[in-house]
Protein backbone atom coordinates (compact mmCIF):
# COMPACT_ATOMS: atom_id res chain seq x y z
CA UNK A 1 0.00 0.00 0.00
CA UNK A 2 1.27 3.48 -0.77
CA UNK A 3 1.70 6.10 1.93
CA UNK A 4 2.19 9.84 1.61
CA UNK A 5 4.19 11.76 4.19
CA UNK A 6 4.08 15.45 3.36
CA UNK A 7 5.48 15.78 -0.17
CA UNK A 8 6.87 12.21 -0.23
CA UNK A 9 4.88 9.35 -1.73
CA UNK A 10 6.33 6.06 -0.53
CA UNK A 11 6.11 3.10 -2.87
CA UNK A 12 5.21 0.66 -0.08
CA UNK A 13 4.28 1.00 3.55
CA UNK A 14 1.64 0.35 6.17
CA UNK A 15 0.22 2.62 8.87
CA UNK A 16 -1.16 0.73 11.86
CA UNK A 17 -2.30 1.91 15.30
CA UNK A 18 0.04 1.05 18.15
CA UNK A 19 -2.23 -0.85 20.51
CA UNK A 20 0.29 -1.85 23.14
CA UNK A 21 1.17 1.63 24.40
CA UNK A 22 -0.70 3.54 27.04
CA UNK A 23 0.74 6.62 28.65
CA UNK A 24 -0.45 8.99 31.34
CA UNK A 25 0.68 12.52 32.09
CA UNK A 26 -0.77 12.34 35.58
CA UNK A 27 1.29 13.10 38.65
CA UNK A 28 0.65 11.23 41.90
CA UNK A 29 1.66 12.87 45.18
CA UNK A 30 0.99 12.03 48.80
CA UNK A 31 -1.25 14.61 50.43
CA UNK A 32 -0.76 15.91 53.98
CA UNK A 33 -3.20 13.35 55.39
CA UNK A 34 -1.41 10.43 53.72
CA UNK A 35 -3.92 10.04 50.88
CA UNK A 36 -2.90 10.15 47.24
CA UNK A 37 -3.55 13.33 45.28
CA UNK A 38 -3.65 12.97 41.49
CA UNK A 39 -3.08 15.93 39.23
CA UNK A 40 -2.15 16.41 35.64
CA UNK A 41 -3.66 15.88 32.26
CA UNK A 42 -6.13 13.50 30.69
CA UNK A 43 -4.34 13.59 27.32
CA UNK A 44 -4.66 10.40 25.32
CA UNK A 45 -2.04 9.83 22.67
CA UNK A 46 -2.95 8.17 19.40
CA UNK A 47 0.24 6.56 18.21
CA UNK A 48 0.72 4.89 14.83
CA UNK A 49 3.54 2.67 13.66
CA UNK A 50 4.54 3.11 10.05
CA UNK A 51 6.33 0.11 8.59
CA UNK A 52 8.05 0.66 5.27
CA UNK A 53 10.17 -1.51 3.02
CA UNK A 54 11.31 0.91 0.36
CA UNK A 55 14.30 1.45 -1.94
CA UNK A 56 17.36 2.74 -0.11
CA UNK A 57 17.36 6.06 -2.00
CA UNK A 58 13.71 6.63 -1.01
CA UNK A 59 14.55 5.81 2.63
CA UNK A 60 17.44 8.28 2.60
CA UNK A 61 15.18 11.03 1.22
CA UNK A 62 12.53 10.28 3.86
CA UNK A 63 14.97 10.23 6.79
CA UNK A 64 16.49 13.54 5.67
CA UNK A 65 12.99 15.02 5.43
CA UNK A 66 12.21 13.91 9.01
CA UNK A 67 15.56 15.17 10.31
CA UNK A 68 15.70 18.51 8.48
CA UNK A 69 12.17 19.59 7.52
CA UNK A 70 10.12 18.07 10.34
CA UNK A 71 13.02 18.42 12.79
CA UNK A 72 11.84 15.16 14.38
CA UNK A 73 8.96 16.20 16.73
CA UNK A 74 9.04 19.95 16.02
CA UNK A 75 6.71 20.14 12.98
CA UNK A 76 3.48 18.44 11.96
CA UNK A 77 2.92 16.74 8.63
CA UNK A 78 -0.07 15.48 6.64
CA UNK A 79 0.02 11.69 6.31
CA UNK A 80 -2.29 9.95 3.84
CA UNK A 81 -2.68 6.22 4.34
CA UNK A 82 -3.43 3.59 1.71
CA UNK A 83 -7.18 4.12 2.14
CA UNK A 84 -6.98 7.86 1.41
CA UNK A 85 -7.48 8.96 5.05
CA UNK A 86 -5.55 12.15 5.83
CA UNK A 87 -4.24 12.72 9.34
CA UNK A 88 -2.22 15.56 10.82
CA UNK A 89 0.67 13.80 12.53
CA UNK A 90 3.99 14.41 14.20
CA UNK A 91 7.04 12.14 14.08
CA UNK A 92 7.25 10.81 17.63
CA UNK A 93 10.56 8.97 18.03
CA UNK A 94 13.77 10.62 19.11
CA UNK A 95 15.80 8.74 16.52
CA UNK A 96 15.62 7.05 13.14
CA UNK A 97 16.64 3.42 12.60
CA UNK A 98 17.12 2.10 9.10
CA UNK A 99 18.00 -1.50 8.26
CA UNK A 100 19.36 -2.06 4.77
CA UNK A 101 18.53 -5.46 3.36
CA UNK A 102 19.20 -7.31 0.16
CA UNK A 103 18.35 -5.88 -3.21
CA UNK A 104 18.90 -2.27 -2.12
CA UNK A 105 15.75 -2.11 0.04
CA UNK A 106 15.59 -0.50 3.47
CA UNK A 107 13.28 -1.33 6.36
CA UNK A 108 11.98 1.58 8.42
CA UNK A 109 9.83 1.47 11.54
CA UNK A 110 8.55 4.98 12.25
CA UNK A 111 6.29 6.08 15.12
CA UNK A 112 3.90 8.95 14.47
CA UNK A 113 1.49 10.67 16.87
CA UNK A 114 -1.82 11.91 15.54
CA UNK A 115 -2.52 15.52 16.48
CA UNK A 116 -5.96 15.37 18.07
CA UNK A 117 -7.93 18.59 18.24
CA UNK A 118 -10.04 18.99 21.41
**pLDDT by residue (tens digit) across 56-92?**
999 999 999 999 999 999 999 999 888 888 989 999 9
**pLDDT by residue (tens digit) across 7-33?**
888 877 777 777 655 566 677 788 788
Kindly report the length of the chain.
118
- Helix, strand, coil percentages for the chain (3-state, nearest 5): 15, 45, 40
Q: Tell me how far apart the alpha carbons of residues 52 and 74 are, in angstroms, rounded to a whole number.
A: 22
Domains of the chain: 3-114 (2.40.30)
Single pTM value for the model: 0.72
pLDDT of residue 45: 75
Phi, psi of 14 (to 5 degrees): -140, 135
pLDDT of residue 24: 64
Amino acid sequence: MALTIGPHVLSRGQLTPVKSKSRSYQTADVAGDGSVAISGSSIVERLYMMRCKIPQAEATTLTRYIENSLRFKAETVQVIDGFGVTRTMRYWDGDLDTSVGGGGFADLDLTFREEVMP
